[in-house]
A and B are shown apart, each in its own frame.
Chain A
């Protein structure tokens, strides 16, 4: 009963437009007041502070800051040049270039929105020139941008590692193979589009000299994930320390090597990055307050019993998890959706002996789909704005792209090897 009341109150006020941070606090306060529960508010709000202070979470603002630095520091255009030299010759080549650029840039930014915005602003004019329909370009950008979330420096993976206690080292590698499969699947759609519409039959193949030049130019930026992941992989530094190194590396590249930003731009970039991270961290903290109440009132147990009564087998549970997350993602941004559902689903997954790493990959894949599911979504809006496309027009083109990603999602769900193979190869565990 309390479960329904908690989620009922939360969804009503959140859908009415109250910011999620306040919705979570208001729900907690409302439940304590109206049910006459004997909890002191000051004790409850200590959980809010405890939710934002852990050392591991410092990685969140630092990775966002590093991503912002690289996004504004001219890394995007070098990555697009490299992808163009390698794949521009294919039919639908600019579409494939977009996907590869998003994949590579995602590896340094870890943010889907930054990925879509940075790559979109560079490829959208060329795609328009070639004759791609703006609705298709926007749809592709909104989907391809989310590949960033499956790459090693993914911010949702970091948050999942924090809430679940899973190893960030293993998680960071577990999304790479599903991400690459998604990229190949999306490329097939682009090649087919290029052939079918005849708008892009591919440009001339780049010479080896040209490929070497653009690789050398993009090299310092592409080295960043190698250094960061390599450092985490060898245990040289923790994810938080890796984030600090990413910031310093990003500063050196953007200020002194590419020189696309100036020192006086830094306060504004830092302000934006720390505002963004504050909005995420306060939701994390407020979710901690509500989760504490749910745990104290045995709501998680109540919900787990209900779910086990309708999904007693692991495959049924995973199917239900996918459906619930896809539906939830239509309304809620990925991070809050993960923060709200992880404390409920994780104990059940553990009871069914489902691997935490697999759960992390499934949750992130589902929630990345949510970013471009019409009518609302972060990358959906950014791409629509960049390409001046309509959400309705984009929806038609999103269907085959989303279909491909859902196929990969179910493959990843039921073939655990896909998420475990790379961590096992690199670390011997997974």
Chain B
């Protein structure tokens, strides 16, 4: 299996501007990189739009377009961010009890948790697709684009999350501990 290391992966200086996260197979690593950068770009656009709105407001104009665009971006950054932290095992979790387990038991517990996570993500992914397909005909009031674009991140974020969780399940089956899978500080 090809694993992305500090020497490999996307070339160039840009690569090092974002933390690499845990070491994972190259396709998983590239997907994670794409999601991380998409999140950063969407966040940057959102910040610019909100600040632009402040300036417009100060100049006595109210721009409904920026408000609606920001709400759309908010959905994208939430679900892309959700996928990005699944990859780092960073979702808010009560670990008080499973932290007390020894390595082998912890791997077993992680396996069950990730299996349930995969099922939940599949339910979100499948229903997200239904929501998208039902909303190509409904149009966002101000932006004039199909509402499906606003609902799409649910499926995309959940789909990417499924890939990361499935890969983690594979790693657990290979006997890797949590520290090996996510790194000590993740």
Contacts and interface: CB of A to CB of B under 8 A. Distances in A.
Interface in B42-91: 43-44, 46-47, 50-51, 53-54, 57-58, 67, 70-72, 74-75, 77-82, 84-85, 88, 90-91
A45 B17 CA distance: 35
A48 B158 CA distance: 13
Nearest to B71: A53
B32 to A, nearest CB: 11
A17 B113 contact: yes
Contacts of B113: 16-19
B142 interface: no
B39 A271 contact: yes
Contacts of A277: 77-78, 81
SS class, residues of chain A in contact with chain B = helix
A67 to B, nearest CB: 14
Given A25-B124, A52-B74, A16 B98 contact: yes
A29 B123 contact: yes
Given A16-B109, A18-B116, A52-B75, A275 B84 contact: yes
A314 to B, nearest CB: 32
Given A41-B127, A58-B50, 5 more contacts: A19-B113, A55-B70, A58-B71, A245-B51, A271-B18
Interface string B102-137: 000000011011001101110110011011001000
A274 B81 contact: yes
B51 A247 contact: yes
B8 interface: no
Interface of B: 17-19, 36-37, 39-40, 43-44, 46-47, 50-51, 53-54, 57-58, 67, 70-72, 74-75, 77-82, 84-85, 88, 90-98, 109-110, 112-113, 116-117, 119-121, 123-124, 127-128, 130-131, 134, 150-151, 154
Interface in A156-172: none
A378 to B, nearest CB: 10
Contact of B93 (A18, A42, A237): A18
B74 A58 contact: yes
A52 B74 CA distance: 7
Nearest to A278: B81
Nearest to A330: B96
Interface in A224-245: 236-237, 240-241, 243-245
A273 B120 CA distance: 25
B150 A19 contact: no
Interface in A280-321: 280-283, 285
B151 A41 contact: no
Nearest to A333: B92
Nearest to A282: B82
B94 A14 contact: yes
Interface of A: 13-22, 25-26, 29, 41-42, 45-46, 48-49, 52-55, 57-58, 61-62, 65, 236-237, 240-241, 243-245, 247-248, 264, 267-268, 270-275, 277-283, 285, 331-333, 335-336, 375-376
Given A55-B71, A279-B85, A281-B78, A268 B19 contact: yes
Given A45-B127, A55-B67, A241 B84 contact: no
B124 A274 contact: no
A24 to B, nearest CB: 10
Nearest to A272: B19
8 contacts: A19-B93, A22-B120, A42-B127, A52-B78, A267-B17, A267-B40, A268-B18, A331-B96
Contacts of A281: 74, 78, 81
Contacts of A376: 94-96
Contacts of B116: 13, 18, 22, 26
A332 B94 contact: yes
Contacts of A282: 78-79, 81-82, 91
Contact of A17 (B78, B81, B98): B98
A278 B82 contact: yes
Contacts of B67: 55
Contacts of A243: 50
B47 A65 contact: yes
Nearest to B48: A244
Contact of A57 (B74, B84, B121): B74
A17 B97 contact: yes
A267 B37 CA distance: 8
A247 B54 CA distance: 12
Contacts of A247: 47, 51
A13 B151 CA distance: 28
A280 B95 CA distance: 17
B97 to A, nearest CB: 6
Given A19-B92, A20-B94, A42-B130, A278 B84 contact: yes
Contacts of B50: 58, 62, 240-241, 243-244
Contact of B123 (A41, A275, A335): A41
A270 B40 contact: yes
